[in-house]
């Protein structure tokens, strides 16, 4: 018996099992340690490649999912190979009867993992038969949960794009969203889409927490970029809440609920993906609202509110920068 091989194999199996189950089942904690490091490394590499070619960043999400699956399968495969290398007679050749090579042992573990059925190599009686059963069980579990995980991630990606296009359909800037929702006297009717956006944003936040790989699914189309839509929505909420006199504001409850959902989104991404930017983003432009005939507060009052919101807006800019994008241009800095 070679206990060094057995210990090394059990160690690899334990590591990959912990990372795999952490990533696919532990919704509260997101990705496992190995997967988190792999995602960050791949994203940073593709960001450097994609400085001039944004298409490279669009590969990040699918590539991370693919590399993650290959990593889990490879480590599990290697781990079980080491376990079966712990004894010279753990696997026997039913045809030639000679000693088993590393390649043959690797082949035996492979078809055991993927439940292809025994061929010319079979385990010895006793503990190695049990080990083979565990090998097959771990392979079935890996395949089943991997398929479920990929389907869930793709559903989350579709929901992310749906949210982005819904918001961008109202405008590409916060000022545009506000002016387009003004009917000449009030903002009546804006509560319904705001409630819808809040529900979609809460779902998006939950998905980001459960599937951190969602951070890395990048869209070249600005209108399909959730990060940009988040900024546009928050700037519109800031204008409604602090740039318009209280008697002309939309429902305070609806606006506050939407702002709370946005804050939860920022906190979720701040746990693992982004940090606050060192700079403050451009301020929303009240002049655009005045040109549309919308009553506004004074510039000084609005500026004081923006000072109170500096940390929140820097966090928003941090999300934009982490996604390798630019802050949506305002009327004042075009």
Does 159 lie in the same domain as 143?
Answer: no
**Mean pLDDT over residues 48-62, rounded?**
77
Does 136 lie in the same domain as 197?
Answer: no
Token pair belonging to 90: 């753990």
- Give pLDDT tens digits for 279-311: 999 999 999 999 989 999 999 999 999 999 999
- Give pLDDT tens digits for 225-260: 999 999 999 999 999 999 999 988 999 999 999 999
- Give pLDDT tens digits for 195-232: 999 999 999 999 998 898 999 898 888 888 999 999 99
Does 83 lie in the same domain as 30?
Answer: yes
Range with the poorest average pLDDT among 47-51, 155-159, 183-187, 272-276: 47-51
Query: How many structural domains is the chain composed of?
Result: 2
Q: Which residues of 64-83 are buried (b: 16+ CB within 10 A; e: fewer)?
A: bbeebbebbbebbbbbbbbb
Does 163 lie in the same domain as 234?
Answer: yes
- To which residue do tokens 């490394």 refer? 41
Distance CA 120, CA 190 (A): 70
Where does a domain end: 97, 117, 147?
A: 147
Amino acid 51: pLDDT: 57
Distance CA 217, CA 57 (A): 8
Range(s) of the domain holding residue 130? 3-147
Cβ–Cβ under 8 Å, residues 296 and 243: yes
Where does a domain end: 127, 147, 167?
A: 147
Does 163 lie in the same domain as 20?
Answer: no
Does 132 lie in the same domain as 27?
Answer: yes
Cβ–Cβ under 8 Å, residues 106 and 135: no
- Give pLDDT tens digits for 103-151: 988 998 998 888 776 667 888 888 988 999 999 999 999 999 999 999 9
Does 89 lie in the same domain as 222?
Answer: no
Does 119 lie in the same domain as 30?
Answer: yes
Where does a domain end: 101, 125, 147?
A: 147
Cβ–Cβ under 8 Å, residues 174 and 285: no
The percent of residues in the chain predicted with pLDDT above 70, rounded, is: 96
Amino acid 334: pLDDT: 44
């Amino acid at each position: 018996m070679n206990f060094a091989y057995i210990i090394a194999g059990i160690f690899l199996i334990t590591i990959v099992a912990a990372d795999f189950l952490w990533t696919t089942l532990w919704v509260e904690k997101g990705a496992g340690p190995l997967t988190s490091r792999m995602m960050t490394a791949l994203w940073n590499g593709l960001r450097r490649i994609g400085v001039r070619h944004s298409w490279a960043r669009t590969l990040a999400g699918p590539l991370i999912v693919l590399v993650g699956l290959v990593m889990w399968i490879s480590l599990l495969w290697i781990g079980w190979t080491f376990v079966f290398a712990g004894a010279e007679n753990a696997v026997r050749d039913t045809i030639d009867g000679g000693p088993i090579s590393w390649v043959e042992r690797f082949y035996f573990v492979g078809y055991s993992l993927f439940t292809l059925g025994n061929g010319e190599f079979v385990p010895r009686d006793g503990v190695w038969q049990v080990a083979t059963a565990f090998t097959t069980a771990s392979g079935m579990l890996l395949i089943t949960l991997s398929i479920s995980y990929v389907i869930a991630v793709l559903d989350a990606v579709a929901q992310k794009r749906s949210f982005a296009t819904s918001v961008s359909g109202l405008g590409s800037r916060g000022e545009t969203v506000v002016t387009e929702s003004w009917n000449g006297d009030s903002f009546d009717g804006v509560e319904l889409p705001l409630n819808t956006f809040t529900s979609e944003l809460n779902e998006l936040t939950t998905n980001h927490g459960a599937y951190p790989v969602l951070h890395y699914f990048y869209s070249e189309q600005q209108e399909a970029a959730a990060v940009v839509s988040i900024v546009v929505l928050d700037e519109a909420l800031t204008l409604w809440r602090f740039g318009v006199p209280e008697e002309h504001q939309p429902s305070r409850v609806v606006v506050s609920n939407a702002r709370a959902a946005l804050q939860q989104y920022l906190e979720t991404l701040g746990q693992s993906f982004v940090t606050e930017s060192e700079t403050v983003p451009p301020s929303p432009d009240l002049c655009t609202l005045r040109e549309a005939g919308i009553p506004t507060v004074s510039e000084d009052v609005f500026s004081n509110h923006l000072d109170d919101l500096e940390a929140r807006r820097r966090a928003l800019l941090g999300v934009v920068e982490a996604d390798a994008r630019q802050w949506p241009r305002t009327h004042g800095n075009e």
